[in-house]
Every structure is written in structure tokens, then in C-alpha cells.
Structure 1
């Protein structure tokens, strides 16, 4: 059982109002100044996200995004401190997309479940795009497959037309960022990730879930990512000259993903195109 962070009485009050004092707290992630906790008790489970310093801006922005999206039951409460921000959100029950491919990565089985999860994730992203929104930080753990459908999480950098893209540094996982955006997001340069960029990251995310490796073949390009800073690695990715890895444990699925990863932004399929193509692959 974890300790609730001090200095966040409002967030604690929200959790205690639902559970009393008998809840359990487990730290889930901690990065870029934002910590996510799972609060669990007899009344269910909730996510508590607390950001300090630079992380406060990200948590505040995620609150803004969730309010604008208006997804029922997702955001439960939020608040700000002098140098912090917090939110309490629904905890979605189900495996992540990464988890949905675990059997395939381990022993090559579970293809039907994996393919279904991939198509569902693409369809959910297509629905978000249809609302005029871009996620801008898709990752293997950012889609949760619930009985009611896929729920997207970690929306701090999502934006829509009419909303200024967030001025941030190095959003997303370096290995999943499309070449055309690899040098964006530096300083006050806005991360204007559009739908085509989202589709690249969506395909890269699924490639990673299938293979357990990043899609780019750094060794073939003579690059050792561990020896580079994030900015140096992104500069290499921005050249567009790093080939895809050649290992294809699932050729039919990876051929579809290759088309999205190798196409120019204007020629990439849409998320709905990907969903429909993957659905047709089902046996």
C-alpha cells in the first residue's frame, strides 16, 4: 500500500469520499513530473494523476482536453495547487494493446485476439479523428480494451482544430515519432501533429506490440540509440533514412503496417482504412 503524496488534500478528499480511508494506493507510472496512482477500494478503482513543476502543465492540459471531449464518466475531479495539478479519472478495466498481443509475442498464438485488438484500436482512433481531434501520443499502453470498447488514455497532448497545438519538448516515444515530426516540439515550436502523424504512430505502436521491438532498424543504419541523446536520435529519425526492421513474425499484418510507416504523410491510409484492412485479415 502506497502513501498518498503530501500537499494534495483536495485529491485525497475526492478519493476518501468514494472509499473512506480504507483504499489502497499503487504507483503505476512516474515520468516528466507526473505520477499516476491506482486507488482501489470496495467501491472500485480510480486513477489519480498528480503533476508537479513541468508535469503540472501536462496534467492541467489533460484536464482541459477531457472536459472538451466530454467523455462521460472519464474525468471525475480535478484541481490546481501553487506548483501542481491533479485529476481523478475512471480506471478502465481491461488489457492494454500491448497486453493483447502478449500470447503472440510469447509463442505465436492468439492471432485472432491480437488482430481484433488492433482493428478496435484503429477504429477508436478513427472515431477520435472524426471528432476533429488528434491524440498525438499514441503508445502500446495508451489504449485499454474494455468490454465496452477501447478507451484512450494519456491525452495531455491531444488537440483539435481551433485549439493551439501544445508548445512542448519531446512529446511521445522517440522510436514511434514520424520523421516529419521528429524535429518538432523543440522549445516553443508547437507540436502540430495531424492525423497523418497519428496514423504513423498508430502503425508503429502496433508493430511494437506484434514484435516486441521498435519498428526502425537502427543497427542497419549504423545507429546505437543508447549512445545518443533524445534530440540526436530524433535528428536521425527526421532524415527518413532509417529502414524498417526485416523480422516479420506476422507477415500479413506487418505488410499493412509497413504501408503506413513507409508512405509520405499525404499518402498514408487513414485510421479507418487501417481498421477496415485489418478486419478483412480476420480468418
Structure 2
């Protein structure tokens, strides 16, 4: 199907939220995300639909299931969420998280000639929210700067559709096929190249956090490959360990360097990351 079917909120969402204001933030690659406000509050609404195959990429039916899968995980984490099915796939309605993401917040750090250093308390808050997820038995599986929302009262980790570690209903579950390669650990990229699937772990999440801190503070990806390289080429570079040298000021430099270690066992645990930032 095209994106057209997700360009309007379905009736089931209108009934659930009764919006007075609504704004579509994203509608591509099998997912539409809406910012919705109404008398019942402000919400993020996600719609999933299958990606049709073309001559350039295979069909991706799993994207239709992602919102309900995330809805189940959020429910297990005691987040106020509703989710269900619509004619093209599944949906969820979850609390709106206000604030910049990590990459946007650290834009002054990346500015040419900047003397601004990345705030360790922000890095620590990102590590803590990831540690909280790990403590509940879930590996996030899609750690990236855009998924850390730095609010006035707390840092929150969003987009949990790819999380693994606890039971997920079979009807909403699907195989993990990696995430945005910029933040994908070498063992994940290697497994996907070899078998087409992988399992995210706490160690791969630590790698993702290290890569997120690096690119947010410097603008550089952890691994070198052409900007327009196909995903298999990107993954091969990650699997081959073509990592850049980490040059970051203060204690973040050696810490991020360790978090990006090729061998998962050589990376610090998320608890050790928090201790190093305290």
C-alpha cells in the first residue's frame, strides 16, 4: 500500500482520543506518527502498515505489527497506553514526551569552533533511563539519539517496538532485523549479514548509547562508510570493525571508546557507564 491510507487518523483513533488538534509528524517506511491533543490530554499516535515490495527493496509486512508490539511492551512497563488493530495494520496511543532529543540538545556542542562541552549530567540521564529498561528485563534494540527525549523533569527512552527480553504475543511479534546501522553493534551487523536476523542485548544497547553520544557531541558516526552506501555495505563496515578514533573532551572520550569496543565482553555494563559519569 502507499502512505495515503495513513495520512488521516482512522475512526478507531478518533473515538479513542477525541482530538481537537492533530499534526502528522512522519509518514514513511511503514509508520505514521501523529501529535494529537484533546480534552483527554496530549498523545503520540502511531499507525503501522506493511511496506510494499519494489525492484529496490523487498516487502516488509512486520512494520504493520510494530505499534501493537510496542503497545504491549509499554503496557508491561506500566506506561499508560492503548493499542489495537486498524484496517491496514496496528496502532497505539501513548503519552506525548515533550523536549528535545539528545542530538538536537547537543547541537551547540557540535557547532564549528564551539567551546561548549557535552553535559555529563545529560549523558548520565540517558544511561540511567537505559539502565532502568535493562533492570526490567528488556534490551531496547534501537538505541539512537532521537530516542532519548530530554524533558524538564526526566529523560525518557521512546520507540520500544524492537525491544527484546520478555514475552510478546505471537500475533504481534516479528523477527529482529537490526536497527539504524549508525548505532548497530558489530555482532548485530555480523549476525544479520550471515543469517538475516539477530537478538539485541544489553551489550549491543551500550554500544548504541556510545555511538549516540559520539555523533551527538561530534557529528561523526562511529564507523566509516560512504553516506549513500547501501545497508549491506554499511553493515559490512561495522562487522569488519572499521571504527573511527574517538576524540571527545574529558572523561567522555575514554568512556565512549570503551562502549564502542568490538568485543561485547570488553564494553562496560550500563551500571559502570553510570558510575563513570557520576
For the superposition of Structure 1 and Structure 2, which TM-score range results when normalised by the shorter chain?
A: 0.7 to 0.9
The answer on whether the counterparts of 1:166 and 1:191 sit within 8 Å (CA) in structure 2 is no
2:158 paired with 1:153: yes
| Match of residue 203 from structure 2 | 196
Native 8 Å contact 1:166 1:190 kept in 2: no
SS in 2 for 1:39: strand
How many angstroms does 1:45 deviate by? 2.3
1:160 is paired with a residue whose SS is coil
For normalisation by structure 1, the TM-score amounts to 0.82
Tell me how many residue pairs correspond in the alignment.
259
- Tell me, yes or no, if the aligned pair for 1:167 and 1:187 is still in contact at 8 Å: no
Q: Aligned pair 1:234/2:239, yes or no?
A: no
Q: Distance in 1 between matches of 2:162 and 2:17?
A: 26
Q: How much does 1:235 deviate?
A: 1.9
SS in 2 for 1:158: coil
Q: 1:186 to 1:264 in 2, by over 3 A?
A: closer
Structure 2 residue matching 1:108: 3-state secondary structure? coil
- Whole-angstrom distance in 2 between the partners of 1:86 and 1:187: 32
Q: 1:26: how far off?
A: 2.1
Whole-Å separation in 2 of the counterparts to 1:86 and 1:200: 30
Q: 1:50 — aligned with what? A: 47
Instruction: Determine the C-alpha separation between the residues in 2 that align with 1:188 and 1:31.
Output: 26
Q: Distance in 2 between matches of 1:235 and 1:99?
A: 29
**Residue aligning to 1:210:** 217
1:10 aligns with 2:15: no
Q: Deviations over 1:86-127 (max 9, x none)?
A: 111110122211222122222635536x22111011011111
Q: Take 1:80 and 1:42, find their aligned partners in 2: how far apart are those partners? A: 23
Structure 2: gaps spanning 5 or more residues: 51-60
> Is 1:39 aligned to 2:47, yes or no?
no
Look up the match of 2:129. 124
* 1:141 equivalent in structure 2: 146
1:259 is aligned to 258
Asked if residue 68 in structure 1 is aligned to residue 68 in structure 2, the reply is: no
For residue 101 of structure 2, the aligned residue among 84, 96, 103 is 96
Check whether the contact 1:100–1:117 (CA below 8 A) recurs between aligned residues. Answer: no
Cα distance in structure 2, aligned partners of 1:166 and 1:197? 19
Show structure 1 runs of 5+ residues with no match: none
